Amino acid sequence: MEKRISLAHGDGGELSHRLIKSVFVEAFGHNNEAMFDASALTIPVRDIAVTTDSFVIKPVFFPGGSIGKLAVAGTVNDLAVSGAKPLYLTCGFVIEEGFEISDLRAIVSDMAKEAKKTGVTIIAGDTKVVERGSADGVYINTTGIGIYENGRKPSLQFTEGDAVIISGTIGDHGIAVLAERGELGISVPIDSDCASLNTMLLKVCEEIDDVRIMRDPTRGGLATTLVEIAEDFSLTIVLNESSIPVREEVHGMCELIGFDPLYIANEGKAILIVPNEHKDKVMEILLQFPEGKDAAVIGEVTGTEKGQLLLETPLGSKRLLTRLAGMMLPRIC
Amino acid sequence: MEKRISLAHGDGGELSHRLIKSVFVEAFGHNNEAMFDASALTIPVRDIAVTTDSFVIKPVFFPGGSIGKLAVAGTVNDLAVSGAKPLYLTCGFVIEEGFEISDLRAIVSDMAKEAKKTGVTIIAGDTKVVERGSADGVYINTTGIGIYENGRKPSLQFTEGDAVIISGTIGDHGIAVLAERGELGISVPIDSDCASLNTMLLKVCEEIDDVRIMRDPTRGGLATTLVEIAEDFSLTIVLNESSIPVREEVHGMCELIGFDPLYIANEGKAILIVPNEHKDKVMEILLQFPEGKDAAVIGEVTGTEKGQLLLETPLGSKRLLTRLAGMMLPRIC
Amino acid sequence: MQELLKQSSNPEILKPLLQAVKEKAAEFISLYGRKPAFMEVCGSHTMALAKSGVKQALREDVSLISGPGCPVCVTDQHSIDSMIALAEGDGRIICTFGDMMKVPGSRQSLMDAKINGKDIRVVYSPVDSIRIAEENPGKEVIFLGIGFETTIPILAILVEEAYKKGLGNFSIWMTTKLVEPILRHLLNCGDVMLDGFLLPGHVSIVLGEEAYSFLPEEYNIGGVISGFEPAELLSGIYKLLDIAITKDTRIINDHPSVVTKSGNVVAKQLMEKYFSLCDEAWRGIGSIPSSGLSIRREFDQFDAKKKFKVDPGEPKKTKCRCGEVIRGLINPTDCVLFGKACNPMKPVGPCMVSAEGSCAAYYQYMRECN
Amino acid sequence: MQELLKQSSNPEILKPLLQAVKEKAAEFISLYGRKPAFMEVCGSHTMALAKSGVKQALREDVSLISGPGCPVCVTDQHSIDSMIALAEGDGRIICTFGDMMKVPGSRQSLMDAKINGKDIRVVYSPVDSIRIAEENPGKEVIFLGIGFETTIPILAILVEEAYKKGLGNFSIWMTTKLVEPILRHLLNCGDVMLDGFLLPGHVSIVLGEEAYSFLPEEYNIGGVISGFEPAELLSGIYKLLDIAITKDTRIINDHPSVVTKSGNVVAKQLMEKYFSLCDEAWRGIGSIPSSGLSIRREFDQFDAKKKFKVDPGEPKKTKCRCGEVIRGLINPTDCVLFGKACNPMKPVGPCMVSAEGSCAAYYQYMRECN
Amino acid sequence: MCVGVPAKVIEKQEFSALVDVMGSRTTVGIIFVPEVEVGEYVIVHAGQAMSIIDEEYAKESVEEWRKLTDARTS
Amino acid sequence: MCVGVPAKVIEKQEFSALVDVMGSRTTVGIIFVPEVEVGEYVIVHAGQAMSIIDEEYAKESVEEWRKLTDARTS
Ligand code: SF4
Ligand code: SF4
Ligand SMILES: [Mg+2]
Ligand SMILES: [Mg+2]
Ligand SMILES: [Mg+2]
Ligand SMILES: [Mg+2]
Ligand SMILES: [Mg+2]
Ligand SMILES: [Mg+2]
Ligand SMILES: [Mg+2]
Ligand SMILES: [Mg+2]
Ligand SMILES: [Mg+2]
Ligand SMILES: [Mg+2]
């Protein structure tokens, strides 16, 4: 087989056929490639959740994962935070001419591994190849289908006093990837948190009656995700700055370049808002999982009228948190 | 609103929020963007079909359509050829920094229009922005979910004598797009055939008992798709060269640059293999639809043991057709 | 040491420290019948005060006025337009600190120019731009040199490196600012009443404690050199209150762990070697004589202002009151555009762009929690 | 006219025409006790014969031997390696007909070089490469000039244009071939027994009918100049049979609508003006004196062979028998690699790459339908 | 050796002409056939018109084929 | 005016040093503090070490705070 992807790998002819057979079908374990293009299936229940995401990370391999692992975990998590049990995944690849086929294999193998681990089946796929300079390596779209069993769906009903929990340290993914890119010349000895959270989160949903909401604070970070929740459901949420778990290394890198961990992307974390009386039980469950070992109660819902997110500093002052406004750029002032 | 897409439109913050609200939510008619990211739904039956495709066409606007129309029609067709009724679509955008927001709006509006026309609902979406030079305008992934009602599924059981039908002229899409690109300095006054075929094809499935298979000959063209069918189901298929409908203009352009219409992409055509005794009835149905007005019986299944596709020339000679081998390139010899 | 550093944000220290400041402020108020007014000269102080909640916590006790020490905010419109016009030329790579990217020019920002396809690169460390110049011999690489005395020595390193390497395609567009001339200007104008200055800890690393002696000596106003951590801020304000109450007008170096009496000699020598005084235009103030540094004649080849002609035309007039904000004459909230037409997503003036701009700090950290 | 043109593929004409050829061939066979053997000189003839099914339909009647008229197939390994080595240099844009892209060099093909990031562009019309040179003044633009006499005049236009425009960054890597020398070589070697040549219609547009008079005069062998449509092919073969049967050895111009007696004068003048004879290496044959054209000394500046030094090293030896295939000595199926190690996806020799290569034509159109 | 395609001349400039190939249109050089007129057909190779198609001869060829043919179909 | 971050010197070359900021590491110029030694802390601004942190003074500051504090918490 060739070493690098050529445009012909995407033109639907003999090379596409071989690529699909030798890379995808093999890794995803289908026995004919017709299955790879479209899939007929019978699902166990009629209540489903559907989500889609495209993954465009640079570099495609980073400490703690790869775009392949991310593409599976990211979509699995979007289903899991909605309370659904992830069952099926489709994947669409856009590959740059010249991309190393061995890298593609490694990525696809990461996908297969993560899919196996989380119990999802990859049921359909597609590959397109674009000219050199028309993509940055490889982009992957995954679309996930999950099912709702046993009324696991978060209620989306909130009351004052509800506890806000984060399942672990924030900013690990964004900082690990930024450092790995090497452009800033800063090395940070941490891994991306990239992980599938379905087992842990569905366990919470099983054990706790009235989970209010779960969300994965990916792009835009913890603050942006909580602003969205606050606005969507007209909640006043107050976070306690000193209780938010941030790794020292993440803090260090952020200090150096003037970034704020509250706005850095996570790929293996969930925000859970739960009734105050269940918060200890939820913490107990989260702490049982490796993905939840740094979980912390970081704030509470203090009102259900205005949509706003506040941060209480160690001095006791409160300040308003808004969405990430424009890109974060390394700065000197 | 800004005129062009910036990286900040993809970072999950305020600009992403506005882009989604003002471009996507508006066009796709959701009333809150939370729905846009993941979607819970109750589907009517448990037998479903799922398919995914990424669309990377250049240019993004072309005679007869746009990447938006294509992204909907392409996935709708993949469902329709499998006999499923298309119901839901997700869409994932990868947008290049600097892309005109007015163009994005036009593309999204084309998607909404085509979705409405075909009766599918866009239930989830995602946008990512990559740096200038890391994409060519915009790439769209669509994943489609369809349902099987009333046992419409093609049987995939073949017998000698089965008729091979193409729903119209071949090569229109590939040639229209190639010409529109302008690189060859050849203008061709034809439109891409880009169209959703679900109504027409599901009508055939309703009226005809035992449709063997349906396929849309997209990348790789008619020949490649039929080679795949022949191989997958061990059929000998013989095509009659003179009965294959090809527009004069397509023929002309192909002659000029040394391309073969049999291998040019279509985006609004279907191959149907049907029992010989039903072929007239199928033709009758197809001819009622504007998308099927040039339909023709182009060959038959002559054996069910070897997987091979043959072409009978006007002289009566037969030759083997293989998959597209490598890219077609304009040539002088 | 790490443990020592952490103490500066230790809540167990902060809360009583805040209490001490509040008590001291009450003493001032009972003495003078008004709130004490201090100006934090430095934008990083503005941001640190707001982000840590010190400013909010002292709202009733001390009037903390943001000064002119945000290099982005004090850059005048014509300068900004010139840098953007510079970026629009072909065959150029513009290197800049991230801070400048979103500053609105009359027609567009550097970010817009980048979106429109110009090659503009954000660097963390200015010396990266030297590497970029070496890697792109066919292009002109221009570094946008903004900053006060903390940053200027680093720009001097750039000239030195470019000179040593004989780079023909590298230059700096200098638009730097100096602390002393702007403080003198503010005091000379006399339109802000102040009881003292919270002086910038990092600038003082270079300048040294002695650089501020003109304040008590010539203007009879005191100042405290302070760090940026919450405890350092509170301590600095505490000492400012002490000066104001005791009328023992002087400069206190409350950041002695990094700031010496005479500053960093090497840095000052490098500045002297490569740069000379020039008039600089300050936003909303106009040109102040000898208030900035430009590249010395001998190193003209690295002076982008000499190398490239740009004519951005007349700046567009806006209702932005940054000029008054940085002089401490008004609060950001006094600007009619604040929070409405002007916000971090669509800033009208540079004070809303820079993280340490007064308007941005107000918007991000000080808005009423309603 | 369009109607006239269509007749050449009208099945109602084709089927009886085929019948006529078969009858004529039977006549030959009954006369000589063997199948007549003709060589189609031109690769486009090879492809047209196979694609239309004429070759298959006449399998039992006429032996049609593919000749050396595919410019890609006759390019020797060293030449191919040189072009690829040329493409590997930095700062270059290689323009080529699509035909050359997949030809395997000893280490890689142009397509591989493109995948690896080299700037290689497929043009349909060679003059596009002039435009590319004008648009990229900082790069060297090199056109890979392959072809026989149909294409060579177009390369002459390139030199003329580049000269008129004074382009300093444009050149052509010439590796062209001429028809007469190779036909003479084949006949001189005498290792193929032929009853006549099916002569190339398009080359003859330039050369004219008279160019082939040496065939009957010096070698006592006839030929028919033929077009490429099925009816034209059948008619040409019919006339070749006629010559062979009647032994009235001569050249028949069966494509008089486009081929004249003396060819295209302008084209011949342009070739003469810019090019001069040179020795050329033919794949599997070796160098044939004066069998190609190179750029005249006066226009050296456009001669990439003069401008750039490339040393691709010794070609890798393969078991490819293209050399014998193009001389008509063996059929593609006689090569042990055919259809196995060598196929259009992974061609070993150029005859499997070019659409008009004998091996590719065999693979695409002639393989047994089993 | 060379792909060559019949094309009808639609518009003529000094050194180039717009031609039509069954509806597809492109501009080709006419350096080799400067005398070509609008309405005539040319053979196009690699973006150049190489030869004007002589309609009379084309007709004769078809007639020749028909003769051979007629002998067999009648 | 300037982001400045305390960093610990891990390795020293002639004009640069590898520093550690709570686990993150980067190379900074030491042109302004050529005398710095491994193990010392510096203030980093825009890729340059601007000043060495004097531990004694740092300790004194903390003690000062503690004094103010103790008066209020005891
Ligand atoms: S709020 Fe905006 S417009 Fe008003 S002074 Fe501040 S930066 Fe200028
Ligand atoms: S089959 Fe391949 S290896 Fe054999 S002669 Fe033909 S091109 Fe060469
Ligand atoms: Mg999603
Ligand atoms: Mg997601
Ligand atoms: Mg999510
Ligand atoms: Mg597909
Ligand atoms: Mg790239
Ligand atoms: Mg599909
Ligand atoms: Mg498809
Ligand atoms: Mg399909
Ligand atoms: Mg998303
Ligand atoms: Mg682009």
Residue C366 has pLDDT above 80, yes or no: no
Is C20 in contact with F71 (Cβ distance < 8 A)?
Answer: yes
Low-confidence ranges of chain A (pLDDT < 70): 1, 30-38, 151
Parallel, antiparallel, or unpaired for β B38-42 and A47-55?
Answer: antiparallel
User: At CB < 8 A and 24+ separation, what contacts does B1-5 make?
Assistant: B1/B101, B2/B101, B3/B100, B3/B101, B3/B102, B4/B97, B4/B98, B4/B99, B4/B100, B4/B101, B4/C112, B4/C115, B4/C116, B5/B95, B5/B96, B5/B97, B5/B98, B5/B99, B5/B100, B5/B101, B5/B104, B5/B129, B5/C115
DSSP 8-state code for residue C72: T
Question: What are the pocket residues of ligand 1 if the criterion is a CB atom closer than 6 Å to any ligand atom?
Answer: C 320-322, 325, 332, 335, 337-338, 342, 347-349, 351-352, 359
Convert chain B into a string of H (helix), E (strand) and C (coil): CCCECCHHHHCCCHHHHHHHHHHHHHHHCCCCCHHHHEEEEECCCCEEEEEEEEECCCCCEECCEEHHHHHHHHHHHHHHHCCCEEEEEEEEEEEECCCEHHHHHHHHHHHHHHHHHHCCEEEEEEEEEECCCCECCEEEEEEEEEECCCCCCCCCCCCCCCEEEECCCCCHHHHHHHHHHCCCCEECCCCCCCCCCHHHHHHHHHHCCCCCEEECCCCCHHHHHHHHHHHHCCCEEEEEHHHCCCCHHHHHHHHHHCCCHHHCCCCCCCEEEECHHHHHHHHHHHHHCHHHCCCEEEEEEEECCCCEEEEECCCCCEEEECCCCCCCCCCCC
Nearest to B38 among A82, A136, A325 (CB): A82
Instruction: Give the span between the Cα atoms of D216 and D250, in whole angstroms.
Output: 5
Which bound ligand lies closest to the C-alpha atom of B136?
12
Low-confidence ranges of chain D (pLDDT < 50): 370
Closest chain C residue to the Cα of A257, Cα to Cα: C124
Which bound ligand lies closest to the C-alpha atom of C73?
1
Residue C76: both structure tokens together: 């005048």
DSSP 8-state code for residue C244: H
Instruction: Give the span between the Cα atoms of D323 and D320, in whole angstroms.
Output: 8
Is E51 in contact with D151 (Cβ distance < 8 A)?
Answer: no
Residue C123 has a pLDDT of 93
Hey, is the C-beta of B319 within 8 angstroms of any chain D C-beta?
Answer: yes
Please list, residue by residue across B113-144, b when 16 or more beta carbons sit within 10 angstroms of its beta carbon and e when fewer do: ebbebbebbbbbbbbbbbebebbbbbbbbbbb
* Min Cα separation A114/chain B (Å): 20
Residue B35 has a pLDDT of 45
Contacts of D154 in chain E (CB under 8 A): 29, 45-48
- State the helix-helix crossing angle for C11-32 and F55-73, rounded to 10 degrees: 70
Sign of the torsion formed by the C-alpha atoms of B66, B68, B72 and B74: positive
Place of tokens 């060519």: B136
Residue D88: both structure tokens together: 């590997």
How many domains does one find in chain F?
1
What's domain B163-321's architecture?
A: Alpha-Beta Complex (3.90)
Instruction: Give the span between the Cα atoms of D250 and D226, in whole angstroms.
Output: 14
* Min Cα separation C344/chain B (Å): 10
List the Cα angle C43/C44/C46 in 5-degree steps. 60
Residue D125: both structure tokens together: 């019309």
Closest chain C residue to the Cα of F51, Cα to Cα: C258
Atom 3 of ligand 2, residue of closest alpha carbon: D320
Close Cβ partners of E20 (under 8 Å, ≥ 6 residues apart)? B252, E7, E8, E10
Domain with CATH 3.90.650.10 in chain A: 163-321
Is B326 in contact with D15 (Cβ distance < 8 A)?
Answer: no
Q: Residue D41 is inside which H or E element, if any?
A: strand D37-42
Q: How many residues does chain B have?
A: 333
Regarding an ipTM greater than 0.85, the answer is: yes
Taking alpha carbons only, the member of D276, D67, D45, D7 closest to residue D192 is D67
Amino acid at D283: R
Say whether the peptide bond before residue A59 is cis (omega within 30 degrees of 0).
yes
Taking alpha carbons only, the member of A133, A291, A78 closest to residue B58 is A133
Q: Of chain D residues 239-268, which have a CB less than 8 A from chain E?
A: 254, 256-259, 264, 266-267
Let me know: does A176 contact A64? Beta carbons within 8 Å.
yes
Contacts of A325 in chain B (CB under 8 A): 13-15
Q: Which atom of ligand 1 is nearest to the CA of C325?
A: 5
Residue E60: both structure tokens together: 């004769």
In sequence order, the β-bridge partners of residue D122 are D96
User: Per-residue pLDDT tens for B297-319?
Assistant: 999 999 999 999 999 999 999 99
Residue D195 sits at φ, ψ, to 5 deg, of -100, 5
In sequence order, the β-bridge partners of residue E5 are E44
Taking the CB of residue F73, how many other CB atoms lie within 10 A of it?
11
Q: 3-state class of A142 per DSSP?
A: strand
* Min Cα separation E23/chain D (Å): 11
Place of tokens 């590497």: C131
Residue F26: both structure tokens together: 């980067």
Residue A24 has a pLDDT of 87
Which bound ligand lies closest to the C-alpha atom of B50?
8
Residue A30 has a pLDDT of 64
C-alpha D237 chain-centroid distance: 19
Let me know: does C121 contact C97? Beta carbons within 8 Å.
no
Domain with CATH 3.30.1330.10 in chain A: 7-147
Residue C9 sits at φ, ψ, to 5 deg, of -125, 20
Confidence class for position C195, pLDDT limits 50, 70, 90: very high
DSSP 8-state code for residue F31: T
Taking alpha carbons only, the member of A94, A186, A194 closest to residue A142 is A94
List the Cα angle C167/A330/F55 in 5-degree steps. 95
Hey, is the C-beta of A5 within 8 angstroms of any chain D C-beta?
Answer: yes
Is C367 in contact with A306 (Cβ distance < 8 A)?
Answer: no
User: Per-residue pLDDT tens for A120-141?
Assistant: 999 999 999 999 999 999 999 9
Residues within 5 Å of ion ligand 3 by Cβ?
A 51, 53, 78; B 37
Residue F66 has pLDDT above 60, yes or no: yes
Q: Is C159 exposed, middle or buried (0-12, 13-18, 19+ CB in 10 A)?
A: buried
Q: Which atom of ligand 1 is nearest to the CA of C330?
A: 5
Place of tokens 């009443």: C193
Nearest to C367 among A258, A317, A320 (CB): A320
C-alpha D311 chain-centroid distance: 26
Q: How many residues does chain E have?
A: 74
Instruction: Give the span between the Cα atoms of D234 and D61, in whole angstroms.
Output: 12
Interface probe, candidates B132, B134, B136, chain C, greatest C C-beta count within 10 A: B132
Let me know: does F45 contact F27? Beta carbons within 8 Å.
no
Residue B75 has a pLDDT of 97
Contacts of E23 in chain B (CB under 8 A): 188-190, 247-249, 252
Is E47 in contact with D125 (Cβ distance < 8 A)?
Answer: yes
Residue B21 has a pLDDT of 84
Q: Is the CB of D325 under 6 A from ligand 2?
A: yes
Q: How far apart are the first and last CA of chain F?
A: 38
Atom 6 of ligand 2, residue of closest alpha carbon: D359
Cα-to-centroid distance, B74 and ligand 4 (Å): 24
Instruction: Give the span between the Cα atoms of C296 and B9, in whole angstroms.
Output: 42
DSSP 8-state code for residue A280: H
Residue A35 has a pLDDT of 45
Contacts of D98 in chain B (CB under 8 A): 258, 329-332
Hey, is the C-beta of D369 within 8 angstroms of any chain B C-beta?
Answer: yes
Hey, is the C-beta of A17 within 8 angstroms of any chain C C-beta?
Answer: no
Nearest to B42 among A47, A92, A133 (CB): A47
- Residue span of the structural domain in which F64 resides: 5-73
The CATH number that applies at residue F13 is: 2.30.30.140
Let me know: does D351 contact D359? Beta carbons within 8 Å.
yes
Q: Helices marked H in D247-331 — which ranges?
A: 265-274, 304-307, 322-326
Let me know: does C2 contact F23? Beta carbons within 8 Å.
no
Hey, is the C-beta of C115 within 8 angstroms of any chain B C-beta?
Answer: yes
Rg, C-alpha atoms of chain F:
15
Let me know: does E21 contact E9? Beta carbons within 8 Å.
no
F and B adjacent (3 or more CB pairs under 8 angstroms): no
Residue A44 sits at φ, ψ, to 5 deg, of -70, -35
Instruction: Give the span between the Cα atoms of D10 and D18, in whole angstroms.
Output: 12
Hey, is the C-beta of B133 within 8 angstroms of any chain D C-beta?
Answer: no
Instruction: Give the span between the Cα atoms of B67 and B56, in whole angstroms.
Output: 8
Residue B28 has a pLDDT of 84
C-alpha F15 chain-centroid distance: 17
CA dihedral of B215, B216, B222, B228, whole degrees rounded to 10: -40
Domains delineated in chain C = 2-70+188-253 (3.40.50.11750), 72-178+263-307 (3.40.50.11740), 323-364 (no CATH)
Taking alpha carbons only, the member of D358, D13, D306 closest to residue D172 is D306
- State the CATH class of domain B7-147: alpha beta
List the Cα angle B159/B163/B166 in 5-degree steps. 140
- State the helix-helix crossing angle for E55-73 and D230-246, rounded to 10 degrees: 70
Residue B33 has pLDDT above 50, yes or no: no
Tell me the average pLDDT across B263-271: 97
